[in-house]
Structures are given as C-alpha cells and as structure tokens.
Amino acid sequence: MVDHVFADLSLAALYDSLNPWRPGDDFYLGLLREAGAVLDIGCGTGQLLRRARAEGHRGRLTGLDPAAAMLVQARRARPDVEWVLGDVRVRRWRAEFDLVVMTGHAFQELVADEEIRVCLRAARAALKDGGRFVFETRNPEARAWERWTPDRVLRATAADGTPVRVWHEVQGGGPRGDRVHFTETYAGPGWPGPRVNHGVLRFLDAGRLEGFLAEAGLAVADQYGDWDLSALTPGSPEIITVARKA
Ligand SMILES: C[S@@+](CC[C@H](N)C(=O)[O-])C[C@H]1O[C@@H](n2cnc3c(N)ncnc32)[C@H](O)[C@@H]1O
C-alpha cells in the first residue's frame, strides 16, 4: 500500500535523513556490483541505485516506484538512472534483468494477495534465465511492531532548517491477522500542526512467503535471518530471500 508520506514532496524530502544507509543496503549493493542489469521495485528515493551509479556501475539501472514525490528526489540526485513511475503493471519487462530487488521492506507494502501475486509474476518475468529476485520482509515472529511506539522519536532537519520529529504508533493494539495498521506522525515548528499518515504493512511468515513464490514460478535459493547472512531462525528479525526461476 502506498503510504501518503510518499506522495508528499516535503515529507519525501526527509526520507533519506530518516532512513540512512543500512547494513541491508550494503548487502544489496554487493549484489548490484555483480549484476549487469538491475530492476529495483519500490525504489523510493533510489538510494541504492544512486549509490551503485555513483561508484561506477555502468549497466542498466531501473528504479520503479508508484510515489511521484519519492521519484522526484531520485531524479534530482541522479538523472542517469532510469526512474519509472508506477507499479509493476506499467511496463512488461521480459527476461531483461540479471537482478530484481525489493529493499527497505518495500515488499511489505503489498498488502492484498493479488498485489503480491502480480508483483511476483512481474519480477519473475523480468528476470533473465539464471537471474535472481532478492528481497526482505520482517519476520512476524520478531514482532517489530511492538517497538513502534511514540516514545521512540526520530529526528531530522527539514529543507528550511527547522527540526522535525517523527514517531510511529500501531493502531488497534497489534496486528489484525498478518497486517499491521499504524500511523506515522511528523511534527515541527515549520508546520502549523502535526501531520499524520496512515500505513498498513503485511507480515508474511516464511511458509506463506514460499507458497506465494512457488505460485509465481519462483523457488527459494537462499534464505537468511539477518544482514550478517545468519540462518533464518524463529527469532530472526528478517526473512531475506534469494529466489530464482523455478
Ligand atoms: C519503505 S519504502 C522503501 C524504499 C527503498 N526501497 C528504500 O529501501 O529506501 C517503500 C516503497 O515502496 C513503494 N511502494 C508501495 N507500494 C508499491 C507497489 N505496489 N509497487 C512498488 N512499490 C511500491 C512506496 O512508494 C515506497 O517508496
């Protein structure tokens, strides 16, 4: 689900400072270095592709995102990457990419079963033979949403130099099935009042995930529980999946 934050230019401009480079980005950047053509689904502000280009990647780099405000940030920073507005239905990529990625838990934005199916089918179709689809989703058993509480405030600086505080709050006291509804509140002296965005994220367990992948003609080649590439265990924070065409 496209959160409203990603549709708002002033909030999208804060995204990179609120979401700085993470260990997961190092993992993906390593994969990009070995891949000639890369598709990043839900690329957001394009931090990963921008970094790859900046450090000399000469191949095809394509970022896809339905949030125009996020792509404005991406395009401004790096016009020499192909930025495509929309979701996977806007293009019919066929066996063109060595690597397809979904990073920063973008996969969890796919809330309805049909959204997941459409995205996975498109990712598979976009892969060359031997290519890899790599993405992560938070392991529901680690219950990350329990730490999304208003006392954990993130801080950033807006373009006009004023401070911004951001916090999250889960709605309804916890997940509804495998979905977590939450608010993200932005507040600071630059705005007349707090701005509240509503989001929903889906938390699939490894079994359900494998079922969706198999249905789309994808097979799990490797799976890790964290960015140190440790094995997936019940307490692992992440389910990091490397999939290939089945
Ligand atoms: C948390 S951000 C992650 C952005 C980026 N991958 C990163 O790691 O910084 C999730 C992104 O997924 C995008 N998104 C939401 N629904 C989507 C969909 N159906 N298809 C592709 N991207 C989607 C949002 O617009 C947003 O930019």
- Number of the ligand 1 atom closest to the C-alpha atom of 24: 8
State the alpha helices, DSSP H only, in 13-90.
15-18, 23-33, 47-54, 68-77
CA atoms within a 13 Å half-sphere pointing along the CA-CB vector of 246: 13
Residues 121-131 pLDDT 10s: 999 999 999 99
Residue 2 has pLDDT above 50, yes or no: no
User: What does the alpha-carbon distance between residue 19 and residue 166 come to, in Å, rounded to a whole number?
Assistant: 12
User: What does the alpha-carbon distance between residue 34 and residue 169 come to, in Å, rounded to a whole number?
Assistant: 39
Among 4, 27, 65, 201, say which to mutate for ligand 1: greatest number of ligand atoms within 8 Å of CB: 65
Average pLDDT over residues 185-197: 92
- Number of the ligand 1 atom closest to the C-alpha atom of 25: 8
Residue type, 27: F
pLDDT at residue 159 in the model: 85
Percentage of the chain beyond pLDDT 90 is 92
User: 66 by DSSP, 3-state: which?
Assistant: coil
pLDDT at residue 183 in the model: 97
Average pLDDT over residues 175-191: 95
pLDDT at residue 191 in the model: 85
Average pLDDT over residues 87-105: 98
Among 91, 109, 168, 184, say which to mutate for ligand 1: greatest number of ligand atoms within 8 Å of CB: 109
Distance in Å from the first CA to the final CA of the chain: 27
User: What does the alpha-carbon distance between residue 106 and residue 136 come to, in Å, rounded to a whole number?
Assistant: 8
pLDDT at residue 5 in the model: 56
Between the alpha carbon of residue 76 and those of residues 4, 32, 70, 83, 167, the distances in Å are 21, 21, 10, 11, 27
- Number of the ligand 1 atom closest to the C-alpha atom of 115: 19
- With a CB cutoff of 8 Å and minimum separation 6, the contacts of 171 are 181, 182, 183, 198
Question: Which amino acids bring their CB within 6 angstroms of ligand 1?
Answer: 2, 6, 19, 41-44, 47, 65-67, 70, 87, 103-106, 109-110, 115
Percentage of the chain beyond pLDDT 70 is 97
b/e 28-54 (16+ beta carbons within 10 angstroms → b): bbebbeebebbbbbbbbbbbbbbbbbe
